[in-house]
Amino acid sequence: MSPETILRKEDCEALRTAEELIVWIESVHAQFEATDATRAYARMGKGLVKPFYEEIVPLGDLARHKYLGQPHFCLRPKIGNQNYDAEIINKSSSHEHIKRIEFTSTYRDADFALRLEYLNQHGAVFMSGPVWRDGTKASGGQIHVVPECIDYDNNLNDLTDLIKRRVSIKLGLSYAPNTIIAIVFDDVRHRSTTHLPQLQTYLRDTLSDQIRGKFCGIFILGTSGKTFLEYSETSSV
């Protein structure tokens, strides 16, 4: 199978229960892990791969944490430039209740893309420390990665600064009143098990004030699939 055919827009945007979404995501993961070529393609983030990893995979983690065993809730990713990335549809009554989700990532940035490109070239990469390219990709510029030890004592401040910057960007845009912001972070690097109480306090006391009036709630999701926090000004989604 050609890597380009693994993801189709109509499959990505299908309406599914939590269980159905998780099974489909796992099947896509298996296809991307099948060969060296498919793994390399997935790392480059081309085509639908980018929204798959930045929006659909976190939506699957959200489904696992919050909606398993609730068939009246369905989830639907949305591919495109609209001001939301997914819908959560509550069909428990005669009138459907819809919440929209806007995802933002604190770690999938230009540096992360360079690390994945370096990983494709060399088979291994350090995930901390400076990373840069000499010149441009088109001119054959080489990527350099310098390993660096992580100071976990400062990690929480680094994470909250990243969250603040991502949220600030979103606050400058327009959203429907039924939109929830979902922040995805690397909970392996930032050791969420150590910092979870402080992160919960930051979510409740600081971040909730920042988003009030713009978003109706916040989800915080770790890339490991283990960390999930939420804050809502309204009734449960």
- The amino acid that residue 118 corresponds to is Y
Q: For the residues 16-44, what does the mean pLDDT come to?
A: 94
- Measuring CA to CA, which residue among 174, 175, 196 is closest to residue 187? 196
Question: 237 in a domain, yes or no?
Answer: no
Q: What's the length of the chain?
A: 237
Handedness of CA 216, 221, 226, 227 (dihedral sign): negative
Domain match, 25 and 121 both: no
Domain match, 44 and 95 both: yes
Question: 79 in a domain, yes or no?
Answer: yes
Of 145, 163, 190, the residue at which a domain comes to its end is 145
Domain match, 100 and 123 both: no
Domain match, 127 and 27 both: no
Domain match, 137 and 157 both: no
Domain match, 216 and 120 both: no
- Into how many domains does the chain fold? 2
Indicate the pTM of the whole model: 0.85
| Burial profile 206-237: b = 16 or more Cβ within 10 angstroms, e = fewer | ebbebbeebbbbbbbbbbeeebbbbbeeeeeb
Domain match, 136 and 194 both: no
Structure tokens at 133: 């390219």
Query: In terms of residue numbers, what domain contains 172?
Result: 3-108+150-232
pLDDT for res 235: 44
Percent of the chain with pLDDT over 70: 93
Q: Which tens digit of pLDDT belongs to each residue from 149-186?
A: 766 666 778 888 888 888 999 999 999 999 999 999 98
Of 123, 145, 167, the residue at which a domain comes to its end is 145
Domain match, 155 and 214 both: yes
Domain match, 122 and 215 both: no
Question: 74 in a domain, yes or no?
Answer: yes
Domain match, 27 and 53 both: yes
Question: 52 in a domain, yes or no?
Answer: yes
Q: Which tens digit of pLDDT belongs to each residue from 139-158?
A: 888 888 888 776 666 677 88
pLDDT for res 121: 81
Question: 132 in a domain, yes or no?
Answer: yes
Domain match, 221 and 117 both: no
Question: 90 in a domain, yes or no?
Answer: yes
Domain match, 69 and 173 both: yes
pLDDT for res 233: 61
Per the prediction, the chain carries an average pLDDT of 87
191 pLDDT band, cuts 50/70/90, is low
Q: Which tens digit of pLDDT belongs to each residue from 87-117?
A: 999 998 778 899 999 999 887 777 777 778 8
